[in-house]
């Protein structure tokens, strides 16, 4: 079906339905006027509506969305302080790309890059290259483009005539990496899951590398189960490969979530620019960076890691401006909010927020395990995220039944199957973000306890539609 193709729900309302579509109070001075002016839904109205009427129509329809605070599927920030919201409102009309007209917004972006470079132990934070993006997907694609360009420059005598580049990563990578390989004609080489290993294995990754490998992706926080991939061991295995074969293959760390958790809670974990083989790192400011969507960041170890041909210098609205993001026009609000959050919290504040999220995750995971029906795959002690499945002896229901029944109570908890080599494993995943307090965790646990007798009384798991699995690529 083409995108946005009409369905039964796209049928235009009848005149009687349109007459009753508006609350009479939306008419303000003349309550009946609003009832006679309800607009069509699938073509542009012939004339304007009063602002409060338009607001009421949109607001009422959006009430049918899920409650973002109860969405335990998404990693994306769902709560910020009111002051951050005010700042974002003040900057929605500023075009981030117009650095000449909005120099202070551009300066705040530059400061954020410097702060992240320092946080991630860049050799020289003052010269580390980086920029904001609309999210981690764009950041990942920029980093991968840099890897491909550096590889193609080294292999100009073979590429594109006889060599096809490849990128090595775990099968658990976020969907944006598959998009990159499709869009920019790179062969994805995926390390499958095996047994109870649900992410990339360093030695298995090395075995997939050859002279056409542009890089290896390591994930600091898998979306499947919240576990960190062993970045230091991966770099050590690639160091050994270089000693044996001469192949010098860089690493990109997809730190969408973990790059804003590990620096504060796992300071002894070596995963960042302290490892010479790490060429670039990305993170999502709108995940554990604690900013509303959408903002991401990508940094390179040094200018040498970002090919000059990917940097465009544009004479735009009166100023000479270097840019290397894929997107162009976008609001400056999220970048300003990121700087506000860095300034507001500092390192101690981030540590407190992330530790609270981890404590909630570990505590909730342990209490769910005590219920007796579930087996934990992870415990929330890396990312504040954990995955669980039903025990083998539980045959009356499955994780899809649990997800469906929790949704009836307002909780959005995704259920899905794992990829290649572990398609037999279906899990629930719970993401504990800032704003998901221990009180809310207790309410979730209470609802789960209330549902279990009904689930246990089922004769068998309900038949699952092929589209029933909920999305987890956030």
Range among 53-67, 99-113, 123-137, 216-230 with highest mean pLDDT value: 216-230
pLDDT value at position 1?
42
**Lowest-confidence segment of 63-67, 86-90, 456-460 by average pLDDT:** 63-67
Q: pLDDT for 339-353, tens place per residue?
A: 999 999 999 999 999
- Whole-number average pLDDT of the chain: 90
Q: How confident is the model at residue 470 (pLDDT cuts 50, 70, 90)?
A: very low
Stronger pLDDT, 230 or 322, i.e. the higher one: 230
φ and ψ at residue 120, rounded to 5 degrees: -100, 15
Q: How confident is the model at residue 472 (pLDDT cuts 50, 70, 90)?
A: very low
Q: pLDDT for 19-52, tens place per residue?
A: 666 666 666 666 666 556 567 888 888 888 888 8
Q: pLDDT for 423-450, tens place per residue?
A: 899 999 999 999 999 999 999 999 999 9
pLDDT value at position 448?
98
Residue for token digits 């570990």? 362
pLDDT value at position 200?
93
pLDDT value at position 175?
92
Percent of the chain with pLDDT over 70: 88
Q: Is the pLDDT of residue 70 over 80?
A: yes
pLDDT value at position 414?
96
Q: Is the pLDDT of residue 252 over 50?
A: yes
- Give the list of residues 6+ apart from residue 66 with CB closer than 8 angstroms, or none: 410, 412
Q: What is the DSSP pairing of strand 251-254 with strand 278-284?
A: parallel
Domains of the chain and any CATH numbers: 8-62 (no CATH), 82-341 (3.40.640.10), 357-456 (3.90.1150.160)
Per residue, what are the HEC states of the chain? Answer: CCCCCCCHHHCCCCHHHHHCCCCHHHHCCCHHHHHCCCCCCCCCCCCCCCHHHHHHHHHHHHCCCCCHHHECCCCCCCCCCHHHHHHHHHHCCCECCCCCCCHHHHHHHHHHHHHHHHHCCCCCCCCCEEEEECCHHHHHHHHHHHHHHHHHHHCCCCCCCCCCCEEEEECCCCHHHHHHHHHCCCEEEEECCECCECCCCHHHHHHCCCCCEEEEEEEECCCCCCCECCHHHHHHHHHHHHHHHCCCCCEEEECCCHHHCHHHHCCCCCCCCCCCCEEEEEEECCCCCCCCCCCEEEEECCHHHCCHHHCEEEEECCEEEEECCCCCCCECHHHHHHHHHHHHHHHHHHHHHHHHHHHHHHHHHHHHHHCCCEEECCCCCCCCEEEEEECCCCCCCCHHHHHHHHHHCCCECCEEECCCCCCCCEEEEEECCCCCCHHHHHHHHHHHHHHHHHHHCCCCCCCCCCCCCCCCCC
Q: Is the pLDDT of residue 188 over 50?
A: yes
Q: How confident is the model at residue 365 (pLDDT cuts 50, 70, 90)?
A: very high
353-362 average pLDDT score: 98
Q: How confident is the model at residue 187 (pLDDT cuts 50, 70, 90)?
A: very high
pLDDT value at position 242?
98
Q: Is the pLDDT of residue 310 over 50?
A: yes
pLDDT value at position 466?
46
Q: Is the pLDDT of residue 324 over 90?
A: no
Half-sphere exposure of 278 (CA within 13 A, CB side): 29
pLDDT value at position 197?
85
Percent of the chain with pLDDT over 90: 73
Stronger pLDDT, 396 or 314, i.e. the higher one: 396
Full-model pTM: 0.90
Q: How confident is the model at residue 97 (pLDDT cuts 50, 70, 90)?
A: confident
pLDDT value at position 34?
57
Q: pLDDT for 253-299, tens place per residue?
A: 999 999 999 999 999 999 999 999 999 999 999 999 999 999 999 99
Residue 226's Cβ-count burial label (10 Å; 0-12, 13-18, 19+) is: buried
- Give the list of residues 6+ apart from residue 19 with CB closer than 8 angstroms, or none: 35, 36, 38
Q: Is the pLDDT of residue 452 over 90?
A: yes
Which two three-digit tokens encode residue 121? 């132990």
pLDDT value at position 47?
81
Count the neighbouring beta carbons within 10 Å of the beta carbon of residue 315. 9
Q: Give dist(CA 221, CA 230) in Å, integer.
A: 10
């Amino acid at each position: 079906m083409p995108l946005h193709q009409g369905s039964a729900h796209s049928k235009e309302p009848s005149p009687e339905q349109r007459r009753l579509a508006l609350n009479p109070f939306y008419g303000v001075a003349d309550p009946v006027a609003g009832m006679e002016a309800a607009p069509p839904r699938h073509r542009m109205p012939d004339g304007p509506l009063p602002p409060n009427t338009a607001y009421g129509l949109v607001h009422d329809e959006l009430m049918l969305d899920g409650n973002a605070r109860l969405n335990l599927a998404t990693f994306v920030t769902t709560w910020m302080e009111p002051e951050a919201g005010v700042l974002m409102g003040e900057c929605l009309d500023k075009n981030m790309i117009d650095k000449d007209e909005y120099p202070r917004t551009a300066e705040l972006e530059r400061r954020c890059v410097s702060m992240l470079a320092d946080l991630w132990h860049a050799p020289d934070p003052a010269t580390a290259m980086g920029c904001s993006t609309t999210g981690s997907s764009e950041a990942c694609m920029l980093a991968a483009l840099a890897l491909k360009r550096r590889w193609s420059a080294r292999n100009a005598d073979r590429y594109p005539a006889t060599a096809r580049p490849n990128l090595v990563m775990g099968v658990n990578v976020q969907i944006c990496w598959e998009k990159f390989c499709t869009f920019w004609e790179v062969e994805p080489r995926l390390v499958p899951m095996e047994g109870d290993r649900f992410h990339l294995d360093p030695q298995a990754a090395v075995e997939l590398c050859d002279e056409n490998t542009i890089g290896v992706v390591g994930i600091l926080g898998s979306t499947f189960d919240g576990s960190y991939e062993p970045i230091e061991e991966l770099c050590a295995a690639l160091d050994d490969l270089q000693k044996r074969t001469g192949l010098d293959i860089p690493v990109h760390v997809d730190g969408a979530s973990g790059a804003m958790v590990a620096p504060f809670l796992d300071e002894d974990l070596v995963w960042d620019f302290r490892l010479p083989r790490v060429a670039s790192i990305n993170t999502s400011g709108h995940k554990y960076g604690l900013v509303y969507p959408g903002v991401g960041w990508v940094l390179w170890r040094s200018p040498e890691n970002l090919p000059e041909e990917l940097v465009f210098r544009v004479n735009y609205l009166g100023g000479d401006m270097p840019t290397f993001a894929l997107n162009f026009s976008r609001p400056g609000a999220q970048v300003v909010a990121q700087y506000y959050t860095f300034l507001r919290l500092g390192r101690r504040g981030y540590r407190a927020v992330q530790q609270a999220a981890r404590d909630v995750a570990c505590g909730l995971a342990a209490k769910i395990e005590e219920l007796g029906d579930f087996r934990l795959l992870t415990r929330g002690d890396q990312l504040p995220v954990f995955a669980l499945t039903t025990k083998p002896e539980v045959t009356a229901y499955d994780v899809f039944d649990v997800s469906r029944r929790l949704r009836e109570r307002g909780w959005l908890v995704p259920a899905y199957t794992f990829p290649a080599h572990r398609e037999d494993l279906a899990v629930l995943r719970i993401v504990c973000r800032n704003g998901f307090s221990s009180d809310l965790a207790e309410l979730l646990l209470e609802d789960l306890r209330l549902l279990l007798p009904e689930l246990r009384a089922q004769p068998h798991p309900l038949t699952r539609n092929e589209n029933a699995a909920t999305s987890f690529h956030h």
